[in-house]
């Protein structure tokens, strides 16, 4: 198998692994609602809205997995890291397996 294909396959596998975890999917939901959230804000939203009481370290690790999969972008603003949703990897999935078009009668 060519090296480029192996790299693409591994990136795709990382995307599916990232999406497999329910806490990571909740983090993506929260970032869809509002981008540029800090770790503190995301931990608070998980606890208050979803009753998920993961430690800050666990949430930080989840964010790192999402970032490695290309689903989250992180930037610094002063001492704070802000997290933003990136849907580009999801578009690649839709391009591979497009949704059927609905025909109206």
What domains, with CATH codes, occur in the chain? 8-94 (1.10.10.10)
Q: Of the candidates 18, 6, 3, 5, which has an alpha carbon nearest to the alpha carbon of residue 89?
A: 18
Query: Does the pLDDT value for residue 7 go beyond 60?
Result: no
Q: What is the pLDDT of residue 94?
A: 84
pLDDT at 37: 98
What number is the average pLDDT over the span 9-28?
90
Mind listing the pLDDT tens digit for each residue in 57-74? 999 999 999 999 999 999
DSSP 37: B
- Give the dihedral of Cα atoms 11, 35, 87, 90; nearest 10 deg: 70
User: Tens digit of pLDDT for each residue in 77-99?
Assistant: 999 999 999 999 988 888 888 88
């Amino acid at each position: 198998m060519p090296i480029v294909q192996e790299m693409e396959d591994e990136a795709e596998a990382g995307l599916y692994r990232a999406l497999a975890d329910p806490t990571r999917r909740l983090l993506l939901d929260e970032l869809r609602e509002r981008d540029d959230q800090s770790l503190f804000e995301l931990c608070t939203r998980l606890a208050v809205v979803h009753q998920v009481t993961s430690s800050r370290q666990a949430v930080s690790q989840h964010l790192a997995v999402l970032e490695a999969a290309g689903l989250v972008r992180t930037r610094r603003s002063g001492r704070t890291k802000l997290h933003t949703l990136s849907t580009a990897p999801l578009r690649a999935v839709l391009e591979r397996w497009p949704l059927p078009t609905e025909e109206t009668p």
